Amino acid sequence: MPLDHRIGAIYEGDGECRFVVWAPKAQQLDVHIHAPDEQVVTLESRPHGYFDGVVSGVEAGSIYTYRLDGGDEWPDPASRSQPEGPHGPSAVVDPNAFQWSDAAWRGVPQDRLVLYELHVGTFSPEGTFDGVVPHLAYLRDLGVTALEILPVAQFPGERNWGYDGVALYAPQNTYGGSDGFRRLIDACHAAGLAVYLDCVYNHFGPEGNYTGLYGTYTTSKYQTPWGEAINMDGPGSDEVRRFFIENALHWVREYHIDGFRLDATDRIIDESATHFLQAMTTAVHDEAERLGRHVIVIAESDANDARYIAPPTLNGHGLDGQWGDDFHHALHALLTGEDTGYYVAYGSLGHLAKAFRQNFVYDGVYSEYRERHHGSSPKQAAARQFVVASQNHDQVGNRATGERLAHLVSFESAKLAAATYLLSPYIPLIFMGEEYAESAPFQYFTSHTDPDLAKAVSEGRRNEFQRFNWAGEVPDPQDEVTFQRSKLDHSLRDSGPHKAINDLYRELLRLRRELPALARLSKDDQEVIAYEVEQVLFVRRWHARHEVTMAFNFAEEAVEMGLPVPAGAWRRAFDTADARWGGAGEEMSGSIDSDGRVHMRLMERSAVLLVHTDGRSQP
């Protein structure tokens, strides 16, 4: 990186601000300060296409644009604030003006993560960062340890999932901007919750992206589902990589972010000897070490490629973890019976058993959906490196009408789904509202201001689901009703079946946290058996002298069978069919003595957890 200075408008105090911008397409670049006092200053040309300069008479909140070659003016590609949205001027932000209260905060260790995926705009009636804060104590008491927030980088309009961001350094103005985001993070840390930010480094949104006027941020060499790929390995790519790496570091430094979920990393195409993901993760880890904090980088990818989380010494990218979508697909197909689209490649109990054992179902074997062999072996990866879920924004929102799992399956099946992934040896991710069976769907919504783009998005959405044959009319993403329909109703969790589900999640997370055999995340210290005829998955997990056994009945009727529970004294610690959770099963009571096999009656679509009561060493 040729400059020591950070990019963007860096407020240096005492009315002075340094402006640094990469604009190799320009011969001259002026910064136009619009307010409070108007002035135009020509920045000095630097090597590798940079311009920079210190301007006096600038304060936090000053409005500015860049003028390229004496012509039109545009917002800053690295703007910290877009008060009028992506098409308007940028604003100077002083990150040191915020009074943080988290000096003692160090973050949450990776193996203690319980992620809660949250979309700011639909989580609360206010749809703002501040609107999340009153719910933090509830989430902490539920057992959540970290929020995972869908992208907040400035997007066009007021309604968006966030994956159309264009001003990647600026928190969305309608959510509360930079100060609102800082208030939320500070409040999370005060409540003992880490904050993970979903970042999109594989494409820019289709409206309001002005980076192409400045430099070669994208390349026609590669194509993605969203158009040209980000230029990670072509001419000028050093500075493009710097732009994105600095973006991640800016969230760590200026916002105290604890970790990242990187969107669709398999769409970040880079044939460099050192992949962008490795360079970025190394930079983030170095900064975390300097700050004395945990900062963790997690990839989303459907490539089932273990190189993402393998260390660089083994030719990997060195990320800390990745989403394990195979677990979701195997569980979803088994519960719903869906066999269209990518679900055609799942549906057997054996698929779920394999996901329990190693996370990847497709580890180099043939995929019917892809019509080729898919994936690689995750054998060397640790359990804590995989994030699993029974639903998330993609799997819910990318259905034709945005149905949640509780809309598709029975009450008992919804409880079984929760137990299956929360008692797995992987990091769980709860999708907002899932924990009390929220009634509202989560649908795809946008508010593009370009009429042609808005029409194209609406039509494209209707054509997207042909391979799934889903029923129902696809809602118009541009209609505000689609957005309003997706807002949560938190009052539901206080009564009826919603409360039963909420209490069940709370208890499952307590057991996961307090039982040593569940708290220790390990793929090795477990035994997994799939009884295909009975449709029962049997799992035994242990740590030192602590042991549990679990039986998950995916049959639609009660099953009586003998299970290979090791000899000794056991107690039934949890049963989704118990009346406490709205089930029709018997109350849990007494102990169970096993001679190496226990005959059990498992209610339909239920999960039972037994805890060994006398303790002994495991093989």
Residues with catalytic annotation? 263, 300
Helix (H) or strand (E) run with residue 16 in it: strand 16-22
User: What does each C-alpha distance from 605 to 558, 585, 608 come to in angstroms?
Assistant: 8, 11, 10
Q: Are 608 and 559 in contact (CB under 8 A)?
A: no
Cα angle 260, 432, 95; round to 5: 40
> What is the tally of helices (H) and strands (E) in the chain?
15, 31
Amino acid 416 reads: L
**200, exposed or middle or buried, with CB in 10 Å at 0-12, 13-18, 19+?**
buried
Using alpha carbons, select from 179, 291, 272 the residue that is nearest to residue 222: 272
Query: Residue 429 and residue 426: Cα distance in Å, rounded?
Result: 10
Q: What is the 3-state secondary structure (H, E, C) of 446-515?
A: CCCCCHHHHHHHHHHHHHCCCCCCCCCCCCCCCCHHHHHHCCCCHHHHHCHHHHHHHHHHHHHHHHHHHC
Amino acid 501 reads: I
Enter the DSSP assignment of 579.
G
DSSP string, 339-382: -SGGGGG--SHHHHHHHHHHS-S-SSEEETTTTEEE----TTS-
Cα angle 529, 532, 535; round to 5: 95
Helix (H) or strand (E) run with residue 195 in it: strand 194-199
Query: Residue 358 and residue 384: Cα distance in Å, rounded?
Result: 11
Query: Residue 483 and residue 447: Cα distance in Å, rounded?
Result: 10
**Residue 116 phi, psi (nearest 5):** -125, 110
Q: Are 501 and 391 in contact (CB under 8 A)?
A: no
Query: Residue 509 and residue 512: Cα distance in Å, rounded?
Result: 5
**491, exposed or middle or buried, with CB in 10 Å at 0-12, 13-18, 19+?**
exposed
Using alpha carbons, select from 265, 400, 392, 385 the residue that is nearest to residue 332: 392
Query: Residue 205 and residue 448: Cα distance in Å, rounded?
Result: 10
Q: Are 391 and 431 in contact (CB under 8 A)?
A: yes
Copy the structure tokens of residue 210.
């002005």
Query: Residue 229 and residue 236: Cα distance in Å, rounded?
Result: 14
